[in-house]
């Protein structure tokens, strides 16, 4: 066993084999069962090659691990920390839903303003949207401003990061004074800091409240960081904290069509003992069935915790006005409101003097996914920019222009010809496989086909749809096709292109050409090919990569 693997767990290593037999290359899902591995798994031999470690296992399987990936515990842990740091700013945390993945706060931390964004900007700018979603994950909330005060608009807000969680209150619910309320929320009474729906399991992990109108006197909003409150309880009264983490509290809600019950602790810990969820809702705590001494201990701890959540320094107070939309983590933040003057019914009917929010529940997992995808796309654009400015600017594959200039020119030509955005992008990115494949463009020029169209298309498929990737995939075949069907085309190929044509297999024969013409992306690929061929002028118009960045971002989100 080599030094590189001596300190590694064998089953772990094998379970992470990245080969296409073990793992679906498209989504990374494993294709074998852990039970299918030999009882006595061992490493028979290892070789280092091309920056990879090749491992031969005692069952004959071969795995290839990139060396940086492999560089064992320390590096792996560091990578993991870096990944998390991107979302959490926390360096030693894996489960982002616990206290370790959160920035705990008190009211004064927002003296300079709330985490907020303008709705139009949030929609238009991925970075702005990412900042809002990151605030919800790290701080527990964010506010969108100038959201149109159209009824049901709250569903559009939810659709921007996830899916509504439908409950007995409906897909969305109206928070306003109701004549026959089945919940205190639908009155004008003050409501102390609480989490919603504790009687649901799974509890809705997000809540979105969109203010359509707030002309009431009173009716201000309050937020308390429940993790911070729990942390204070742990510092101040560790035994009471422990009582609340182990006492199952029956949360109940009942009306004619509903009878919900969940037995959960007020403070839920993860298996490592970290605060992971808070449920606090005085209204819906049912009858506990415990010996009197345990009831006394629970009620003492519960009262201490509830009192902490009422500390003025913990309570962030603000007012939601028409068009404001509050998104918050319902497993962590407690929300509250002050009492208000409801106005009379006539006023309500005319839309004057009332307070009307529309609410919707949703879940943190989709929101975190949306954020991760936004971050991945931003990282991909940065990486593309680095390729264009780094390797791409240095490579001259036998032409008068660098690779980067060549691709930028192709895209500029496409744009000048009025091509749709996805073909501009395909023209821009058609040769990206020279840098992302296992073999580089230099190796192509040395006579070994690097299959850069395939490699590029596969790499791009992480972010772009087939309308971009398929013309890239077929742009070499398009050259071979055109050489076959247009004798004049072959004549005008650059010297380098004529050379690589041979490495790539030469012109298609008649049957191959007919098959190519049948492919769904053939026309697009031929179009890209023609811009490709024209984009080799030393003195041509060459816009910078930034010029295309927004277009690429929009295509990624399509």
157-196 residues in contact with a copy of itself (CB under 8 A) are 163-168, 180-184, 192
Residue with tokens 């983590």: 329
Least Å distance between CB 465 and a copy of itself? 7
Q: 116-118 and 141-145 as β-strands: parallel, antiparallel, unpaired?
A: parallel
For a copy of itself, the binding residue among 59, 344, 365, 389 (CB under 8 A) is 365
Q: CB-wise, 507 or 521, nearer to a copy of itself?
A: 521
For a copy of itself, the binding residue among 200, 279, 406, 536 (CB under 8 A) is 200
Q: CB-wise, 263 or 341, nearer to a copy of itself?
A: 263
Query: What angle (nearest 5°) sits at the alpha carbon of residue 413, between those of residues 432 and 441?
Result: 25
For a copy of itself, the binding residue among 364, 387, 455, 478 (CB under 8 A) is 364
- Subset of 457-486 contacting a copy of itself (CB under 8 A): 461-465
Mask 16-55, x = binds a copy of itself (CB under 8 A)? x-------x-xxxxxxxxxx-x------------------
For a copy of itself, the binding residue among 363, 399, 431, 532 (CB under 8 A) is 363
Phi, psi of 490 (to 5 degrees): -60, -35
Q: Which region, judged by CB under 8 A, interacts with a copy of itself, from 54-62, 281-289, 402-410, 424-432?
A: 281-289
Question: Rounded to whole angstroms, what are the CA distances from 530 to 223, 427, 478, 520, 555?
Answer: 59, 9, 9, 18, 22
What is the Cα Rg of the chain in Å?
A: 30
Please check whether residue 249 is in contact with residue 266, taking contact to mean a CB–CB distance below 8 angstroms. Answer: yes
Please check whether residue 504 is in contact with residue 476, taking contact to mean a CB–CB distance below 8 angstroms. Answer: yes
- Subset of 498-537 contacting a copy of itself (CB under 8 A): none
Instruction: Please count the residues of this chain forming the interface with a copy of itself, following the rule CB under 8 A.
Output: 104
Q: CB-wise, 274 or 490, nearer to a copy of itself?
A: 274
Least Å distance between CB 418 and a copy of itself? 27
386 binds a copy of itself (CB under 8 A): no
For a copy of itself, the binding residue among 51, 60, 179, 289 (CB under 8 A) is 289
Least Å distance between CB 303 and a copy of itself? 6
CB atoms within 10 A of CB 214: 20
Q: Which region, judged by CB under 8 A, interacts with a copy of itself, from 8-16, 43-51, 211-219, 340-348?
A: 8-16
Q: Which region, judged by CB under 8 A, interacts with a copy of itself, from 103-111, 301-309, 313-321, 351-359?
A: 301-309
Q: CB-wise, 274 or 547, nearer to a copy of itself?
A: 274
Q: How far apart are CA 431 and CA 444, in angstroms?
A: 12
State the first-to-last Cα distance of the chain, in angstroms, to the nearest integer.
48
- Subset of 64-123 contacting a copy of itself (CB under 8 A): 73, 76-77, 80, 94-97
**Cα dihedral sign for 380, 386, 392, 393?**
positive
Q: CB-wise, 184 or 517, nearer to a copy of itself?
A: 184
Q: Which region, judged by CB under 8 A, interacts with a copy of itself, from 208-216, 370-378, 383-391, 484-492?
A: 370-378
Please check whether residue 375 is in contact with residue 137, taking contact to mean a CB–CB distance below 8 angstroms. Answer: no
Taking each helix axis from N to C end, the angle separating 466-485 and 510-518, rounded to the nearest 10 degrees, works out to 150
Least Å distance between CB 413 and a copy of itself? 28
Q: CB-wise, 163 or 502, nearer to a copy of itself?
A: 163
Least Å distance between CB 489 and a copy of itself? 32
Please name which of 425, 428, 361, 399 lies closest in space to residue 493, comparing C-alpha atoms: 399
Name the DSSP letter for residue 321.
Answer: P
* Sequential DSSP letters for 492-550: TS-HHHHHHHHHTT-S--HHHHHHHHHSTTHHHHHHHHHHHHH---TTS----THHHHH
For a copy of itself, the binding residue among 246, 352, 416, 502 (CB under 8 A) is 246
Please name which of 143, 227, 90, 157 lies closest in space to residue 370, comparing C-alpha atoms: 157
Please name which of 503, 474, 399, 395 lies closest in space to residue 441, comparing C-alpha atoms: 395
- Subset of 395-454 contacting a copy of itself (CB under 8 A): none
237 binds a copy of itself (CB under 8 A): no
For a copy of itself, the binding residue among 50, 254, 319, 386 (CB under 8 A) is 254
Cβ contacts of 355 within 8 Å, gap of 6 or more? 175, 176, 177, 188, 213, 214, 215, 216, 219, 340, 342
- Subset of 204-233 contacting a copy of itself (CB under 8 A): 205
């Amino acid at each position: 066993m080599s030094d590189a693997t001596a300190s590694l767990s064998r089953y772990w290593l094998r379970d992470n084999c990245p080969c296409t037999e073990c793992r679906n290359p498209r989504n990374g899902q494993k294709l074998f069962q852990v039970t299918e591995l030999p009882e006595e798994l061992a490493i028979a031999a290892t070789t280092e090659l091309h920056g990879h470690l090749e491992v031969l296992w005692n069952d004959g399987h071969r795995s290839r691990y990139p060396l940086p990936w492999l560089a064992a515990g320390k590096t792996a842990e560091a990578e993991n920390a870096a990944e998390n740091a991107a979302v959490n700013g926390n360096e030693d945390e894996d489960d982002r839903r616990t206290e370790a993945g959160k920035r705990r706060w008190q009211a004064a931390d927002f003296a300079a303003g709330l985490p907020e964004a303008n709705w139009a900007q949030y929609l238009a700018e991925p970075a702005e949207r990412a900042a809002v979603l990151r605030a919800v994950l790290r701080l527990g909330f964010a506010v969108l401003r100038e959201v149109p005060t159209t009824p049901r608009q709250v569903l559009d807000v939810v659709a921007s990061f996830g899916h509504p969680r439908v409950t007995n209150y409906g897909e969305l619910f109206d928070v306003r004074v109701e004549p026959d309320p089945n919940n205190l929320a639908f009155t004008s009474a003050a409501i102390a800091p609480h989490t919603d729906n504790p009687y649901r399991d799974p509890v809705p992990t997000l809540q979105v409240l969109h203010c359509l109108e707030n002309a009431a006197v009173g009716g201000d909003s309050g937020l308390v960081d429940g993790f911070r409150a729990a942390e204070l309880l742990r510092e101040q009264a560790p035994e009471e904290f422990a009582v609340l983490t182990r006492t199952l509290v029956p949360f109940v809600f009942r009306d004619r069509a509903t009878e919900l019950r969940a037995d959960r602790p007020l403070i839920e810990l993860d298996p490592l003992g970290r605060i992971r969820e808070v449920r606090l809702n005085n209204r819906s705590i049912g009858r506990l069935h415990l010996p009197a001494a345990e009831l006394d201990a629970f009620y003492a701890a519960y009262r201490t915790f509830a009192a902490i959540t009422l500390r003025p320094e913990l309570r962030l107070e603000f007012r939601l006005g028409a068009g404001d939309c509050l998104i918050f983590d319902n497993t962590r933040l407690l929300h509250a409101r002050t009492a208000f003057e409801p106005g009379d019914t006539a006023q309500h009917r005319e839309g004057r003097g009332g307070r009307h929010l529309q609410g919707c529940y949703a879940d943190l997992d989709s929101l975190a996914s949306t954020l991760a995808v936004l971050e991945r796309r931003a990282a991909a654009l940065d990486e593309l920019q680095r390729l264009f400015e780094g390797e791409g600017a240095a490579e001259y594959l036998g032409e008068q222009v660098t690779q980067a200039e060549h691709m930028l020119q192709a895209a500029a030509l496409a744009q000048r010809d009025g091509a749709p955005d996805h073909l501009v992008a395909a023209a821009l990115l058609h040769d990206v496989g020279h840098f992302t494949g296992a073999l580089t463009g230099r190796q192509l020029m040395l006579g070994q086909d690097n299959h850069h169209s395939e490699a590029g298309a596969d790499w791009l498929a992480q972010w772009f749809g087939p309308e971009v990737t398929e013309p890239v995939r077929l742009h070499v075949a398009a050259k071979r096709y055109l050489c076959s069907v247009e004798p004049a085309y072959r004549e005008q190929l650059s010297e380098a292109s004529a050379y690589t044509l041979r490495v790539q297999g030469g012109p298609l024969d008649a049957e191959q050409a007919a098959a190519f013409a049948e492919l769904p992306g053939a026309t697009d690929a031929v179009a890209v090919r023609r811009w490709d061929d024209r984009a080799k002028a030393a003195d041509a118009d060459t816009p910078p990569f930034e010029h295309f960045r927004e277009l690429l971002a929009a295509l990624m989100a399509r």
